[in-house]
Structure 1
Amino acid sequence: MDRIVIVGAGQGGLQAAISLRAEGFEGSIVLIGAEQHLPYQRPPLSKAFLKDGEARKLQIRPATFFERKDITLHTGVEVERIDRTDRVVWAGKESFAYDHLILATGTRNLRPPIPGLHHALDLRTLNDAQALRQALTAARSSVVIGGGFIGLEFAAVARSMGHDVCVAEAASRLMSRAVSPEMSARFLAKHRDAGTVVHLDNPVHSVTGEGVVLADGSQISADTVLLAAGVVPNTELAAAAGLLVDNGIVVNEYLLTHDDSISAMGDCAVFPNPVTGLPIRLESVQAATDHAKTIAARLVSSTHTAYAAVPWFWSDQSDWKLQIAGLAASDDDSVMREDGAVLRFANNHLSAVETINDARTHLQARKALAGALVSREQMAAVNYDLAAVK
């Protein structure tokens, strides 16, 4: 294998290139990104960057790194077509031949059918964050459409800047797809105590030039409206090439599509849950990083090790760091310990652990989840002490 092309120059795509070189791959690596910027970190866009605006801090590697590692980086390039027969990707009038293709196309913001949504700003890319930061310098009030990680991180930052902030969430609780009811309630109280107005079970009906109208008819005035209603995977390129797509690009436990010359990874990939075998798609920097390492090892050393890392997530909201080890469904059972940690259980087995400002328990949880399945009875017998799990 002499030529590997990576479509998508986000954190995952860059990690694939880094891991290929670390594994000893000496052939050609081409990394193609749609954005004009060098690969950068996305998580700080909704937090530190809104305050300091220092884009250089976001860069994962300087330009000299790509020269030193002999990685050909193309920025500001949209890949338009994959020719699987001739193993070529096309971007405008330029073609890139490959022996193996890695798709790391990521996600884009979900845009619900809300009238007037063009008045709202996005927060997905560095350009989005720069536009939002500029808007915040003149604004004094903000409405957030969506009560997930990004929306709440932004709300916390805007409140710290003295803005009046309102969050409109269609579901009955905050972060409902990601955390337990107990953790949702703690964060609801946290944001309300900070002065943020939170509307639950009351989605945005329309966006105007002066704010939003909620489903119950309430009108909320705001200088800035942020859309943070979730994301959808970028699968159009794969689908047009005839690859299997179902809420993401479908891959096996080795992150390989049904075309053995194409892998997919990160936010755009649907793969078998290592625990349940059911298809899942993770929106996580860590998952993308682990995917990249798995693919690089398979391509270079022919070590067919399935992706089986314990997923973990985090969200910084004000002075609280939420950390989640494992993966729970919204209806998984939950047990809250006296110290505030929440243990989730699916089919009577530990599925995830949620903590706030508790790195020690988070690391214990990741260790416990990396081993054999732990039953609820086992946890109850040790008073839910993760350190006691053998």
Structure 2
Amino acid sequence: MGATTVIIGGGLAGAKAAEALRDKGYDGTVVLIGAEAHLPYERPPLSKGYLAGSDDRDSVFVHDREWYDDKNVDLRIDVTATRIDREAKAVHLSDGTAVDYDKVVLATGSRPRHFPGDPDVQYLRTLDDSELLRERLGEGKSLLVVGAGWIGLEAAAAARTLGTAVTVVEPEDVPLARVLGAEQGGVIADLHRRHGVDLRLGVGVKAIESGAVTTDDGETLRADPILVGIGAEPEVALAREAGLAVGNGVDVDARLRTSDPDIVAVGDIANHDHPIFGRIRIEHWANALNQPAVAVANLLGGNEAYTRLPYFYTDQYEFGMEYRGHAAGDDELVVRGSVADLEYLAFWLADGVVRAGMNVNIWDQGDDIAALVQSQRIVDPARLADASIPLADV
């Protein structure tokens, strides 16, 4: 019999793994296991354009059904992988069947971190979540968001665009401070306040019940719905139970190989060895998009390292940005351009080396920012801040 590769995970990473297998000439059996009752889809629109109503439903899917048929991909949706038997080389499924494998691509993604207890709240991770939330937004309606992270703030922006009254509660004094730092986090806070968001910073949540949030200072806030966005956790139970090395995610080397040579891991779960940043796990769209091609190449006998810079983007009101690299919010910040006009570049430096760069509403500098981060050379902050000096000459 021919070889079989099983892909576990029905999101973008899983779909791109199937695509890479066929693009690279793999003629064995490809089985793609997806837990949701949908074709594999991309998640960024769920808190951005699709939630706001500017993107249509079909645009979220990676491929249509015909693509999987044409590429001879055995797509099994609405079923989960329950166990990987590495000794027997079989993946057991929730429908009672099992699939024998030669290779496995793990792309199980993340799940939302839940608020303690079982409060009546919404989370925003799946297509169903986005559609349910969208039905509850609009003029005359209210939304309370617990957590001012990327998902919470993007949902808040989409809700305000639809005319919804929005309150956001965040225990930190500045949103996104761990990633962007206090100054750039303050830019985001000001942006939301200008658009009418009641942004409550430095306020924790004690309890959520009966459609109300009780803050740690005793105030009761009511809205319908309540959206909880307090982070995500990698889905690593399957890998751990299979005996794979698991740390902050599934541990993989620079080539995205797990501790089992026949299993690779990609996307949100991949805790990989990056040539610049060391071992990192990044929960962003770009890894799900780009890692599968490298992982598949290595499954098929290649020896490619995954060296792309971490990348993410956001669109909130008139604030559009791209971020490349990996830095801490308290790294040295250098800005060139006009923050007031929301047209600028921001850089985070450690020991004089640019660790990350962000372009805000400037769309022709991305490659130069990436090159600067990848160069790992020491730069002069004054020259970096001077917009008259090309980034290549800093």
TM-score between both structures, scaled by the size of structure 2: 0.93
- 3-state SS of the aligned residue for 1:275? coil
The residue type paired with residue 314 of structure 1 is Y
The residue type paired with residue 280 of structure 2 is I
Take 1:145 and 1:332, find their aligned partners in 2: how far apart are those partners? 27
8 Å contact from structure 2 (residues 357, 373) kept in 1? no
Structure 2: tracts of 5 or more residues without a match: 339-343
- Alignment of structure 1 residues 222-261 onto 2, 5 Å: 222-261=223-262
Alignment length, in residue pairs? Answer: 385
- Alignment of structure 1 residues 49-88 onto 2, 5 Å: 49-52=50-53, 54-88=56-90
Take 2:384 and 2:391, find their aligned partners in 1: how far apart are those partners? 13
Q: Does 1:97 align with 2:100?
A: yes
Take 2:85 and 2:140, find their aligned partners in 1: how far apart are those partners? 47
Structure 1: tracts of 5 or more residues without a match: none
Q: Does 1:375 align with 2:378?
A: yes
The residue type paired with residue 249 of structure 1 is V
Q: Does 1:197 align with 2:198?
A: yes
- Alignment of structure 1 residues 212-227 onto 2, 5 Å: 212-227=213-228
Q: Which residue of 1 aligns with 2:341?
A: none
Take 2:115 and 2:51, find their aligned partners in 1: how far apart are those partners? 25
After superposing the two structures, state which structure 1 stretch, 84-93 or 46-55, moved more: 46-55
Q: Which residue of 2 aligns with 1:150?
A: 151
Q: Which residue of 1 aligns with 2:365?
A: 361
- Alignment of structure 1 residues 168-207 onto 2, 5 Å: 168-207=169-208
Take 1:20 and 1:376, find their aligned partners in 2: how far apart are those partners? 41
- Alignment of structure 1 residues 254-273 onto 2, 5 Å: 254-273=255-274
Take 2:381 and 2:155, find their aligned partners in 1: how far apart are those partners? 39
- 3-state SS of the aligned residue for 1:89? strand
Q: Which residue of 1 aligns with 2:346?
A: 342
The residue type paired with residue 102 of structure 1 is V
Q: Does 1:329 align with 2:328?
A: yes
Take 2:174 and 2:125, find their aligned partners in 1: how far apart are those partners? 23
8 Å contact from structure 1 (residues 368, 389) kept in 2? no
Deviation at 1:162, TM superposition (A): 1.7
Q: Does 1:164 align with 2:168?
A: no
The residue type paired with residue 322 of structure 2 is Q
Take 2:139 and 2:362, find their aligned partners in 1: how far apart are those partners? 36
Take 2:148 and 2:128, find their aligned partners in 1: how far apart are those partners? 22
TM-score between both structures, scaled by the size of structure 1: 0.94
8 Å contact from structure 2 (residues 139, 163) kept in 1? no
- 3-state SS of the aligned residue for 1:360? coil
Q: Which residue of 1 aligns with 2:133?
A: 132
Deviation at 1:69, TM superposition (A): 0.8
Q: Which residue of 2 aligns with 1:280?
A: 280
Q: Which residue of 1 aligns with 2:34?
A: 33
Cα RMSD (Å) of the superposition? 1.9
8 Å contact from structure 1 (residues 382, 388) kept in 2? no
The residue type paired with residue 297 of structure 2 is A
After superposing the two structures, state which structure 1 stretch, 171-180 or 75-84, moved more: 171-180
